[in-house]
C-alpha cells in the first residue's frame, strides 16, 4: 500500500503534479529529514505524513488505486499513532 509514496512523484508520470501540489512530500524525503534530525516534535512528523495522504487525495480521483492506497495507509498510520501515544 505504500508504494505510491516511497519516492517523489515523477513529473513524467504526472506532468502537472508540481503545478497542482505546492508542497509535495514522500517517505524518502521524510527519511532524509529524519536522518538530518529535522523533526523536533511528533506533530512535525505527523504533519508530513498527513501531507503525503492529503496531496494524494487532492490530486487523484477517489476511484483510483492511488487514492485508495492513501485511505488504507492513513488508517493504518492513525491506528499506530494512537497506540504510540497511549504507550507514552
Question: 26-55 pLDDT, tens per residue?
Answer: 999 999 999 999 999 999 999 999 999 999
The gap from C-alpha 20 to its chain's centroid, in whole angstroms, comes to: 16
| Residue with the three cell numbers 487514492 | 67
Q: Look over the chain and give the mean of its residue pLDDT values, rounded to a whole number.
A: 98
The pTM assigned to this predicted structure is: 0.95
**Homologous superfamily, domain 3-87:** Bromodomain-like (1.20.920.10)
Q: How many whole angstroms separate alpha carbon 36 and alpha carbon 10?
A: 24
Domain ranges, ordered by start, for the chain: 3-87
Question: Nearest-CA neighbor of 5 among 46, 66, 59?
Answer: 66
pLDDT of res. 88: 83
Which residues have a Cβ under 8 Å from the Cβ of 44 and sit 6 or more positions away? 38
Mean pLDDT over residues 72-81, rounded?
Answer: 98
CB 56 within 8 Å of CB 69: yes
Amino acid at each position: 500500500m505504500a508504494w505510491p509514496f516511497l519516492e517523489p512523484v515523477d513529473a513524467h508520470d504526472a506532468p502537472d503534479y508540481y503545478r497542482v501540489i505546492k508542497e509535495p512530500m514522500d517517505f524518502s524525503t521524510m527519511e532524509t529529514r529524519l536522518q538530518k534530525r529535522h523533526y523536533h516534535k511528533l506533530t512535525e512528523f505527523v504533519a508530513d505524513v498527513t501531507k503525503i495522504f492529503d496531496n494524494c487525495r487532492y490530486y487523484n480521483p477517489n476511484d483510483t488505486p492511488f487514492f485508495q492506497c492513501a485511505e488504507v495507509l492513513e488508517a493504518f498510520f492513525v491506528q499506530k499513532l494512537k497506540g504510540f501515544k497511549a504507550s507514552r
